[in-house]
């Protein structure tokens, strides 16, 4: 189950999320089972995040940082992961 604090910060947008990530570099974000369908996550730092079973259908992850993120069983249909 997603950490409610992590989910609330992410819902504020990439700028707030990335600021929080810089301030909490030792925390692995837990967004497992989160409903992030159609989320606007452009430039979000999702490195090493737990997105196991997350619903990302239609999410915009263009230019997002995804290194080491766990997408096990995540719903990834129609996501945008472009970097250009």
The CATH number assigned to the domain holding 2 equals: 2.160.20.80
For the chain, list residues with pLDDT below 50. none
Chain centre to alpha carbon of residue 43: 10
Q: Is 49 left (phi over 0), alpha (psi -120 to 50) or beta?
A: beta
pLDDT at site 83: 82
pTM above 0.75, yes or no: yes
> How many domains, in total, are found in the chain?
1
d(CA 33, CA 23): 24
Chain centre to alpha carbon of residue 11: 10
Q: Are 46 and 27 in contact (CB under 8 A)?
A: no
Instruction: Read off the tokens for 33.
Output: 């089972």
Domain that holds residue 71: 1-84
């Amino acid at each position: 189950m997603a950490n409610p604090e992590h989910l609330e910060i992410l819902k504020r947008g990439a700028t707030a999320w990335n600021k929080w990530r810089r301030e909490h570099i030792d925390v692995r974000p837990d967004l497992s089972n989160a409903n992030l369908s159609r989320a606007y996550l452009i430039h979000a730092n999702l490195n090493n995040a737990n997105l196991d079973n997350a619903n990302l259908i239609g999410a915009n992850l263009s230019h997002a940082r995804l290194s080491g993120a766990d997408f096990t069983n995540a719903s990834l249909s129609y996501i945008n992961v472009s970097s250009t």
